[in-house]
Amino acid sequence: MNIVTFQTGGDWDTTTLTLNGQDWPAEKLQVSLQAGRDADGEPVRGGISAGGDISAQVYPQDNPGSPVGIFPGRLQIIFPGHDLIIENTHPGFAFEATTVLYNGRDVTDGIVEAVVDIDAEQNQVQAYITIYRPHWLGADEVATISFI
C-alpha cells in the first residue's frame, strides 16, 4: 500500500512529497475526486456512496512522462489550515471503499469534489474541496473550500 504525503508551509521551499516516509522528487501531483452528484451534475446527499470517480497520480522528476498511481493507498495533503486525507486500500480499488477526512472530520458522505493540481515546473497550485451538507429544515448547503 502506498502512503503518500504532500505537505507545504505555503511556498516551494517548505514543500515536500513523500512516499512511505521517503522523499519523492516530483514535477506534478494531480488528484481528482468526483462524487455525490445526480444525473444533471447537481450535488446530492451520499458523497462516495452516491458513486463517482477518482484519479490520483504523481509525475516523478526522473520520468515525468510516466505517472505513478497512488491508489490503492493513502494520500494526505497538508496546507496551512487544511489537512485532507483520501484513502482507498481496497485491492481492486473499488470506489465505494474510499474514505475522505478533512481537518480530522469524516466527510465521506458529503464529499462532492476534491481537486489538487500541483505543478512545480509551471509554478502552479490549485487545491480545493466541495462538500454537500443536507439540512432537514431549511436549504441544503454546498461549500467549496480553497486551500490556497
* Its pTM surpasses 0.85: yes
Domain ranges in the chain?
2-146
**How many angstroms separate the CA atoms of 67 and 30, rounded?**
10
| pLDDT-based confidence at residue 147 (cuts at 50, 70, 90) | very high
**How many angstroms separate the CA atoms of 100 and 34, rounded?**
12
Cell 465505494 belongs to residue: 96
pLDDT at 144: 92
**Above 80 in pLDDT, residue 11?**
no
Q: What is the pLDDT of residues 69-119, one digit of tens each?
A: 898 899 999 999 999 999 998 888 889 999 999 999 999 999 999 999 999
Instruction: Note whether 121 and 135 are within 8 A (CB).
Output: no
User: To 5 degrees, how large is the angle CA 21–CA 29–CA 117?
Assistant: 140
Q: What is the pLDDT of residues 113-141, one digit of tens each?
A: 999 999 988 888 999 999 998 777 777 78
**How many angstroms separate the CA atoms of 59 and 75, rounded?**
15
Backbone CA torsion sign across 34, 35, 38, 39: positive
CA atoms within a 13 Å half-sphere pointing along the CA-CB vector of 136 = 0
pLDDT at 115: 96
